[in-house]
Amino acid sequence: MSHVSVRRIALSELTTLKVGGPAELWEVEDVEGLTEATQAAYRILGAGSNLLVADAGVPERVIRLGRAFNDIARMTGERELWLGAATPLPGLVRRAQRLGLSGLEGLLGVPAVLGGAVAMNAGTRFGEMSDTLQEVEVFVGGALERLPADALDLSYRHAQLPQGAVVVRARLRLTASDPSAVQARMDEVDAARKGQPKIKSAGCAFKNPPGDSAGRVIDAAGLKGLRVGDAMVALEHGNFIVNLGHASARDVCRLLVMIQERTPVPLALEWRRWGFDTGGA
Ligand code: FAD
Ligand code: EPU
């Protein structure tokens, strides 16, 4: 098996917002592949569900962990387990429920892979990645290294990884529970997400300001339905920007600025932006 495959792609194909220009995708299958891919400037792509990528794309290599890092099939019911960073979170949450393992229910509906969920400390008010994360294995400075979760400064939508570190695996600790009890908690999370839009987006654009919801603030300012090109503030939830078809990063950026100008509370971006420091849209 080859360690790495390289191809040119449009990042709009690999982001949930369906926005973003060209890049060189380095899909790696093992540590040798990572060693090769990290010989020049790079970025790390998970499921692309929290990214706004410039229309001009990015000049850096975009590294994505391949199938060899997807351990969904290896989940067998142990409470303490190491899983590869390309394991899809939705499958992980469902499989944990079937196996009678609790701890991941709050992450229902987060369309990430495990590495991206760790890097963002993804979560909802029902629970976040840090609840179960014990340790990570990262590839950094050309070698694998283990870091305890305590060393990552995990907080609301934040993890402090060493510069350039690629999360390769994560060790989670789950608790044994009745599958129907796990399902009941998942139903609760699902119900709380019912008001979120179903069309192309990158989740919430802004972090919630302390004690409030950015969605509520944007809604109260009357901005639902505000539109630049095909980028629109969702009608269902003010903190989602949806792509109605052919939105560009430039459209999305203009809409973000308009929202920030028209809301009374400072709103900080939750999304990661790629390519804007290099003259992109
Ligand atoms: P990406 O978006 O690909 O990357 C995000 C960041 O993580 C980038 O900086 C990237 O470089 C870094 N990264 C990715 N993989 C690795 C790795 N292996 N090693 C090191 N760094 C890495 N988020 C929530 O927290 N709660 C929600 O309820 C929620 N709901 C959402 C609903 C929808 C419909 C959508 C589209 C998104 C939602 N999000 C939510 C946002 C998003 O799913 C999370 O931020 C998620 O953690 C991003 O993971 P990803 O794998 O897609 O990472
Ligand atoms: N609200 C409005 N109008 C809106 C949106 C929300 O009035 O347009 C009100 C709701 O009625 C509710 C309150 O604001 O009273 C909170 O809304 P919601 O329950 O939707 O939660 P949120 O704070 O807006 C957060 C996360 C979501 C996560 C949900 C569910 C952030 C930025 N957002 O949203 O995460 O799915 O809770 O727990 O923390 C994400 O991070 O990408 C994301 C989608």
Q: What tens digit of pLDDT does each residue of 19-28 get?
A: 999 999 999 9
What is 4-67's CATH topology? 3.30.43
What is 214-273's CATH topology? 3.90.78
Taking the C-alpha atoms of residue 45 and residue 25, their distance in angstroms, rounded to an integer, is 9
Where are the domains positioned within the chain? 4-67, 70-192, 214-273
- The best mutation among 50, 157, 213 to test binding of ligand 1, ranked by most ligand atoms within 8 Å of the C-beta, falls on 50
Residue-averaged pLDDT of the chain:
97
Name, in order, each residue with C-beta under 8 angstroms of 150's C-beta and a sequence gap of 6 or more: none
201 C-beta closer than 6 A to ligand 1? yes
Taking the C-alpha atoms of residue 63 and residue 3, their distance in angstroms, rounded to an integer, is 12
pLDDT tens by residue, 3-12: 999 999 999 9
44 C-beta closer than 6 A to ligand 1? yes
Q: Which residue has the CA at smallest separation from atom 17 of ligand 2?
A: 213
Write the DSSP assignment of 187-227 as a string of letters.
HHHHHHTTTS--SS--SBSBPPPTTS-HHHHHHHTT-TT-E
Name, in order, each residue with C-beta under 8 angstroms of 38's C-beta and a sequence gap of 6 or more: 63, 139, 142, 164, 166
pLDDT tens by residue, 255-271: 999 999 999 999 999 99
124 C-beta closer than 6 A to ligand 1? yes
113 C-beta closer than 6 A to ligand 1? yes
pLDDT at 277: 78
pLDDT at 204: 98
- CA atoms in the 13 A half-sphere facing the CB of 230: 13
Cite the active site residues: 157, 204
pLDDT tens by residue, 136-187: 999 999 999 999 999 999 999 999 999 999 999 999 999 999 999 999 999 9
pLDDT tens by residue, 174-207: 999 999 999 999 999 999 999 999 999 999 999 9
Of the listed ligands, the closest to the CA of 49 is 1
How many angstroms separate the first and last alpha carbons of the chain? 38
Q: Which residue has the CA at smallest separation from atom 47 of ligand 1?
A: 117
Taking the C-alpha atoms of residue 242 and residue 231, their distance in angstroms, rounded to an integer, is 6
Q: Which amino acid is at 162?
A: P
Q: What is the mean pLDDT of residues 49-76?
A: 97
Taking the C-alpha atoms of residue 46 and residue 117, their distance in angstroms, rounded to an integer, is 9
pLDDT of 1 > 70? The answer is: no
What is 70-192's CATH topology? 3.30.465
Q: Which residue has the CA at smallest separation from atom 30 of ligand 2?
A: 124
pLDDT at 280: 45
pLDDT at 109: 97
